[in-house]
Structure 1
Amino acid sequence: MTTLSDAKISYVLRLGDTPLILAQRLCGWCGHAPELEIDLALANIGLDLLGQARNFLGYAAELAGPQYNEDHLAFGRDEGDFHNLLLAEQPNGGFNDTLVRQFLLDSYHVLLHRELSRSADSQLAAIAAKSLKEADYHLRFSRGWMIRLGDGSDVSHQKIQQSLNDLWRFTAELFHADEIELQLAEQGIAVDPRQLQAPWQALVSDTLQQATLTQPTEQAFRHGGKQGRHSEHLGPMLAEMQFLQRAYPNCNW
């Protein structure tokens, strides 16, 4: 079994990597969103997520030792060393794809941070409590747009439904528990993701009903991101995100 110390480092990296990768994706919309209001909202959500990533990665670096810091963990690791959820790394596509991806993750993050704020690890609990306030806003934004576009025109409805169909196969990973999560959950440190599935499903189902959208049928699910097994989309995104630090290691501004 993984030592408690190593398990905690791995778990905190997971908590930091998903918002880091999602923030990078959202920043790709700067100057390209369909409306100025949406452009600003996505940028602000991205900044919130980046702040959450910094908090978690900073704590992971503290646990790992003085040779690490948040910048090294963000810009110095290779693809296989990232532990983000696969859903977060999926391409932006159209606004419909970004919106559905955001809604599915926002619904998860609200529930995750709510439970994690009760963690026996005081540092994790404090980060989660702060993140929850931001996640609540993120969910109001993405859920509102899901309902507006799902129950909008024929074209907007069709686009949102198609994005939902395409991304649904990544949702099972949100609730897939491995040895690390189960070990830490027994200690009251981590959240057992299986406990989040029922409330997540209820929240998503209620939203889809209001949006006149149909939940996709069961299909072959993808998982492995938390263990470092990623889709073909993460590598090119990291190459762009990490270019400057890789080209000029340890540079100071």
Structure 2
Amino acid sequence: MADPLFEYLQRLGDDSLILAQRLCEWCGRAPSVEVDLSIANMGLDLLGQAQLFLAYAGEIEGKGRDEDALAYHRDAAEFRNCLLVEQPNGDFAQTMARQFLFSLHRELLLEALTASSDTRIAEIAAKAVKEVRYHVELSSDWVIRLGDGTDESHRRMEEGLDWFWRFVDEMFELDALETELASSGIAADRRALRGEFDRRMTEVVERATLEVKPSQWPLSGGRRGRHGEELSRMLAEMQVLARAYPDARW
């Protein structure tokens, strides 16, 4: 059995790492240069957070693996990210729908983790939450602009949210591992975040003249390494250079 703290740090780091990679796929393809830069900056913020959490995970594991080894030399079944972040980008509205749902949850989680009894986690969370507040602001603005825009933009944003509702519940799951860490003050109780998430999410969605329609078929399994084929394809591209030259130093 892996150390519970190591597993938890992987979850925090993998969420950021995988979504950062997805956002990088937008480089040069966004609706405008300004938006292109905004998406790239969010990706860089998340990559920095992943680096901090995975570096700490490697230290806890104590097997000589650093953040690069954990990012580039694990197979899909070893990743512990939630399913939401690995989903393909789709169109711009779908990407912003995913970003909004993830960032809102992430902001609440990081705020809670600033009070973690693990000082290293608390320090990382204190830095990261400032970045994620901007992600919430940007993605919320796009949900409202597209939802309350033209018939076409309204339809696309509605379809984007409809696609991602099924992955929201997983972000609030609290299994035995996190229950143990939460009882010692290290992890946050994800269930306690749901009420505020629902309140703020509903406020934005209603301003966007959209409907909140949670999926009747919630999906989960990412925390246990059960991922869709999309993650394997994404990792094949992300890891190809590091795996081709495993001894390279940059």
Please, what TM-score do these two structures have when normalized by structure 1? 0.97
Q: State the shift of 1:218 in Å.
A: 3.9
Whole-angstrom CA distance in 1 between matches of 2:183 and 2:80: 21
The one-letter code sitting in structure 1 at the alignment partner of 2:62 is G
Displacement after TM superposition at 1:249 (Å) = 0.6
**Corresponding residue pairs, total:** 250
Q: Unpaired segments of 5 or more residues in structure 1?
A: none
Task: Tell me how far apart the structure 2 counterparts of residues 246 and 105 of structure 1 sit (CA, whole Å).
Answer: 29
- Tell me how far apart the structure 2 counterparts of residues 220 and 176 of structure 1 sit (CA, whole Å): 15
Structure 1: which amino acid aligns with 2:76? E
Is structure 2 residue 144 aligned with structure 1 residue 153?
Answer: no
Q: What is the identity, as a one-letter code, of the residue corresponding to 1:226?
A: R
Shift of 1:231: 1.4
Residue from 36, 40, 45 that aligns with 1:39:
36
The residue number in structure 1 matching 2:160 is: 163
* Pair 1:211-2:208 in alignment: yes
Cα distance per residue 1:118-169 (max 9 Å; x no partner):
0000000000000000000111100011111111111100100011111110
Using the TM superposition, name which of 57-66 and 128-137 deviates more.
57-66
Q: Secondary structure at the match of 1:55?
A: helix
Residue number among 11, 19, 23 corresponding to 2:20 in the alignment: 23
1:52 aligns with 2:63: no
Q: Cα distance, 1:250 vs. partner?
A: 2.2
Query: C-alpha separation between the residues in 2 aligned to 1:96 and 1:212?
Result: 15
Identify which of 85, 90, 110 aligns with 1:88. 85
Alignment of 1:54-73 (within 5 A): 54-73=51-70
1:217 deviation in Å?
Answer: 4.1
Pair 217,76 (structure 1): closer, same or farther in 2 beyond 3 Å: closer
CA distance in 1, matches of 2:66, 2:242: 14
Q: 1:77 aligns with which of 74, 80, 85?
A: 74
C-alpha distance in structure 2 between counterparts of 1:157 and 1:232, whole Å: 29
Within-5 A mapping of 1:118-133? 118-133=115-130
Distance in structure 2 (CA, Å) of the matches to 1:131 and 1:217: 28
CA distance, structure 2, for counterparts of residue 188 and residue 21 of structure 1: 26
Q: How far did residue 61 of structure 1 move?
A: 0.6
SS in 2 for 1:215: coil
The 2-side partners of 1:121 and 1:185 are apart by 11
Q: Which residue of 1 aligns with 2:196?
A: 199
- Could you tell me how far apart the structure 2 residues matched to 1:145 and 1:205 are? 15
Q: Within 2, Cα distance between the matches of 1:108 and 1:77?
A: 26
Distance 2:247 2:125 in 1: 30
Q: Distance in 1 between matches of 2:215 and 2:91?
A: 24
Return the letter of the residue paired with 1:224: G
If the length of structure 2 is used for normalisation, what is the TM-score? 0.98
Q: 1:227 Cα shift?
A: 1.1
Partners of 1:66 and 1:172 lie apart in 2 by 33
- Contact 2:162–2:215 under 8 Å retained in 1: no
Deviations along 1:210-235, one digit per CA (max 9) or x if unpaired, are 11010114411000101111112100
From 92, 101, 105, the counterpart of 1:104: 101
Partner amino acid for 1:184? Answer: L
The residue identity in structure 2 corresponding to 1:206 is E
Task: Give the Cα–Cα distance (whole angstroms) in 2 for the partners of residues 235 and 77 of structure 1.
Answer: 11
Q: What's the secondary structure of 2:202's corresponding residue?
A: helix
